[in-house]
Amino acid sequence: MLSSLTLPTSQLTPSFFLLGLLNNSSYVIMIAGAKEISEGGVALVFLSNVLPSFLCKLSGPFWFHRVPYSIRMYICMVFMSVSFAVVGFANDYRIKLVGVCAASLQSGLGEASLLAMASKYATPSYCLTAWSSGTGAAGVFGFLFVYIFNNLLNLSFTVTLLIANLLTISFGVVFFVMLPEPDGKLEDENENDNTTDEDGLLEDFPRKEISTEGKKGRRMLSMYDRVAFTKKLYKYMLPLFLVYFAEYAMQSGTWAAIGFPVEDEDARKSFYQSANWVYQAGVFVSRSSGNIWHASMFSLWLMPVIQCCMLVLFYLIAVYQFLYSNVLLLGCFFVGLLGGAVYVNAFNRISKDVEKENVELALSTASVADSCGIMLSDVVGLFLQACVYKKFGIDGAAVSC
């Protein structure tokens, strides 16, 4: 990374935008190729694409502080490259799912780390909005990437994934070359420091819970302290959980079981791709609005409720086939708007509402909520897809309804 003194301030926003785009591209590419990986078990691909990420984010607050940001980014690059190779060359779909898991680990580690890193800069809200916009753009970019190489150029999915390794290189260039140094320390390198950034949490917890370890005499939060701190973030994490549960249950469950006609596999694949295209466009638009619209706490909680209503509506449409045409794509776009808006506003509110010394840990911790929602939605999505398949006599569902 270059010093912030050698690069203009304007370098910061595009850097976080590109990091968001590149970090999430592998995740989206796996979703875009879900039908290629497992046609009858799209939700299995979704689950493999989120479970490792969830576990990484869940455990992160207990070990992230021990691993420098730079090392975490190297790990991300390795997992990204491995994921493309395994999914591309494996013949058994179960081995392919292992590759999807590698992509999930990479995106989860990258997201939790870079969200927390945003707190190190003087204007974290701008970093978070740029990051959110980049992750939204990743949705459009990932599907466009697969469409161009896999569909327009008629290359195999394996070749498409090999080309995707260029994204790994780009990720490293942006983080290690383009991104300015933050205002706060990235690593605990000051030998004269006896505390870490986490000491800001001490004012919220009794001193007896803090243990001292290491040659630097740094005081570390106990597991009890970290769990207690996580509970305080529920008003931001629950909306994230709900909105992502609803939208990914739609993607992996109902949208994978809609087609005109539904009995036609190509028609189902076509609607699935189109629905995800417009959904990702909606996500990009709303995630880019973080500096324009600031949601109130009421709005932050209202949007997930509306999203859950959209899930019920899409399931009823899939089963009873009313409004059964491409007009449904408007609903998919709206779903993307809701999901993106909750994401950017939840993290922006955390950066502003939480005490400055606690923001880094809070952002990293809260990122587990969306993964938790997605993980649960993928299980539900398996059964939603299976139930719609059963109603119309379609074979190939991964589970029984």
Instruction: Pick the range with the lowest mean pLDDT from 13-27, 31-45, 139-153, 184-198.
Output: 184-198
Asked if residues 72 and 175 have their Cβ atoms less than 8 Å apart, the reply is no
Distance CA 368, CA 54 (A): 6
* Per-residue pLDDT tens digits for 128-166: 999 999 999 998 899 899 989 988 999 999 999 999 999
Residue 396 CB neighbour total at 10 angstroms? 12
Whether residues 155 and 14 share a domain: the answer is yes
The full DSSP string for 244-278 is HHHHHHIIIIIGGG--SSTT-HHHHHHHHHHHHHH
| Helix 328-353, helix 359-366: angle, nearest 10 | 150
Q: What value does the mean pLDDT take over residues 326-348? A: 96
pLDDT of residue 9: 52
Q: What value does the mean pLDDT take over residues 335-347? A: 96
**289 located within any domain:** yes
pLDDT of residue 40: 67
**271 located within any domain:** yes
* Per-residue pLDDT tens digits for 247-256: 999 998 999 9
Residue ending a domain, among 225, 251, 280, is 225
Whether residues 206 and 284 share a domain: the answer is no
| Helix 359-366, helix 234-249: angle, nearest 10 | 30
* Per-residue pLDDT tens digits for 111-129: 999 999 999 998 888 999 9
Q: How confident is residue 220, by pLDDT bands cut at 50, 70 and 90?
A: low
Structure tokens at 38: 């497992």
Q: What value does the mean pLDDT take over residues 29-35? A: 87
Beta bridge partners of 220: 211
Whether residues 29 and 112 share a domain: the answer is yes
**161 located within any domain:** yes
For the chain, give me the number of helices (H) and strands (E)? 16, 2
Report the candidate in 114, 109, 126, 116 with the shortest Cα–Cα distance to residue 197: 116
pLDDT at 3 over 60: no
* Per-residue pLDDT tens digits for 69-119: 999 999 999 999 999 999 999 988 899 999 999 999 999 999 999 999 999
Domain encompassing residue 198: 189-225
pLDDT at 356 over 90: no
Distance CA 242, CA 156 (A): 36
Residue 66 CB neighbour total at 10 angstroms? 10
- CA 357, 184, 73 angle in degrees (round to 5)? 105
Residue 9 CB neighbour total at 10 angstroms? 12
Whether residues 337 and 208 share a domain: the answer is no
